């Protein structure tokens, strides 16, 4: 069967996989078991927010626990965390912590990454049903089939994948280092990039390498449209635009930039860590943010004198928002839910993550 290609008007030579993973069901978060446990708990529903915070502070000391939170977490979780960051920064923090317990406030694949890097520590996630629509677009078996069709291929797996998918990869990458990782791969190798096609297109554009793309997407970032970006830039002519490379419009924006339809001196493509670095040093008084809205809390704390405006105010990841204060408290109190990755997946996935960390 001939592989499908992206529309030729994008001017790209992109072969897409014959297996189209988009038929996967997105994980549900409507009413999780952890939420039910909170509602049935004899103590938690009667605690005020202040009491929950005090108990969390007490328990984190008693258990020698570190709380890691992704940039998309709700504000109170970010404020309580020992460290807030993007996927790469959290993986690096997890790799060097000496805490006995890591409580990971993020989605499940991120907690798995922490567990892979710290098999001797206890890694907890307050709600194990915090999934990811992007990670759900590819399985380990599908990667094995894809590799069989490309025996010379080097698999680069975005960190937004489950542990058994990482175990099939040669390298992991995050949005902040995907370009570097692909540049480190010898020119004579085919590259199989998964699962985010928008990030893969961006990397292809930046490196000039021909990349086979998995056709996955994050439902939050795929919702961004180039028209919304253009409108926002026109409304705020003094603003910088910070665009996440997972966004559905990123390739259109790259072409619009090349065509002079977007102002190159005001348009930046960054992962969430890059956004933080940018706002610290940019003189622009206003920043338009094209990513999940949890990022705005982090940026406002980093640069309180600047204004941050979401390009899409309803860009909300419901999986990230499943982590709440009561669940964080219960996680520390009852030591739930432990995330473990067993051999041989652990060693193979760890190898792919460590190869990424060596490059960046």
Contact map string, positions 142 to 161, toward ligand SF4, x by CB under 6 A? ------------------x-
Q: Is 224 in the site for ligand SF4 (CB under 6 A)?
A: no
CA 24 from chain centre, in angstroms, equals 19
Task: Kindly tell me which residue out of 319, 322, 345, 352 binds ligand SF4, with binding defined by CB under 6 A.
Answer: 319
Q: Which stretch binds ligand SF4 (CB under 6 A): 181-189, 273-281, 317-325, 331-339?
A: 317-325
Task: Kindly tell me which residue out of 107, 114, 192, 229 binds ligand SF4, with binding defined by CB under 6 A.
Answer: 107
Which of 59/220 has CB closer to ligand SF4?
220
Query: Number of residues in contact with ligand SF4, rule: CB under 6 A?
Result: 12
Contact call for residues 162 and 112 (beta carbons, < 8 A): yes
Contact call for residues 107 and 299 (beta carbons, < 8 A): no
> Sheet holding 286-290: strands in order across?
267-269, 239-243, 286-290, 307-310
CB atoms within 10 A of CB 191: 23
Q: In DSSP terms, which residues pair with 154 in a beta bridge?
A: 191
The C-alpha atoms of residue 177 and residue 182 are separated, in whole angstroms, by: 9
Closest approach of ligand SF4 to the CB of residue 87, in Å? 9
What region does 153 belong to: left with phi over 0, alpha with psi -120 to 50, or beta? beta
Closest approach of ligand SF4 to the CB of residue 114, in Å? 15
Contact call for residues 336 and 350 (beta carbons, < 8 A): no
From the number of C-beta atoms within 10 Å of its C-beta (0-12, 13-18, 19+), residue 138 rates as buried
Q: Is 134 in the site for ligand SF4 (CB under 6 A)?
A: yes
Q: Is 218 in the site for ligand SF4 (CB under 6 A)?
A: yes
Q: Is 317 in the site for ligand SF4 (CB under 6 A)?
A: yes
| Residues 278 to 297 in contact with ligand SF4, rule: CB under 6 A | 292
Closest approach of ligand SF4 to the CB of residue 160, in Å? 5
Q: Is 241 in the site for ligand SF4 (CB under 6 A)?
A: no
State the residues that interact with ligand SF4 by CB under 6 A: 107, 132-134, 160, 218, 220-221, 292, 317, 319-320
């Amino acid at each position: 069967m001939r592989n499908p290609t992206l529309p030729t008007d994008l001017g790209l030579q992109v072969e897409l996989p014959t297996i189209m993973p988009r038929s996967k069901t997105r994980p549900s978060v409507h009413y999780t078991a952890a939420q039910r446990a909170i509602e049935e708990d004899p103590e938690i529903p009667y605690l005020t927010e202040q009491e929950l915070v005090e108990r969390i502070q007490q328990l984190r000391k008693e258990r020698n626990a570190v709380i890691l939170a992704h940039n998309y977490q709700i504000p109170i979780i970010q404020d309580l965390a020992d460290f807030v960051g993007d996927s790469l920064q959290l993986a690096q923090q997890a790799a060097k912590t000496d805490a006995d317990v890591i409580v990971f406030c993020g989605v499940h694949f991120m907690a798995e990454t922490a567990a892979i890097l710290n098999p001797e520590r206890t890694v907890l996630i307050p709600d194990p049903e915090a999934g990811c629509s992007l990670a759900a677009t590819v399985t380990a078996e599908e990667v094995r089939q894809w590799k069989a069709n490309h025996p010379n291929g080097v698999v680069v797996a975005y960190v937004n994948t489950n542990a058994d998918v990482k175990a099939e990869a040669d390298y992991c990458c995050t949005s902040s280092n995907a370009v570097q990782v692909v540049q480190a791969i010898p020119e004579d190798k085919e590259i199989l990039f998964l699962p985010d096609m928008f990030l893969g297109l961006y990397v292809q554009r930046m490196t000039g390498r021909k990349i086979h793309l998995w056709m996955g997407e994050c439902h939050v970032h795929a919702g961004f449209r180039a028209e919304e970006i253009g409108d926002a830039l026109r409304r705020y002519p003094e603003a910088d635009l910070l665009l996440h490379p997972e966004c559905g419009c990123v390739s259109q924006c790259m072409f619009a930039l090349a065509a002079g339809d977007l102002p190159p001196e005001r348009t930046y493509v960054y992962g969430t860590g890059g956004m933080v670095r940018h706002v610290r040093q940019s003189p622009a008084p206003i920043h338009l943010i094209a990513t999940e809205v949890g990022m705005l809390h982090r940026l406002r704390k980093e640069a309180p004198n600047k204004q941050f405006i979401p390009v899409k105010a309803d860009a909300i990841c419901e999986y990230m928002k499943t982590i709440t204060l009561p669940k964080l408290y219960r996680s520390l109190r009852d030591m739930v839910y432990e995330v473990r990755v067993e051999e041989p997946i652990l060693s193979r996935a760890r190898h792919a993550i460590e190869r990424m960390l060596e490059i960046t």
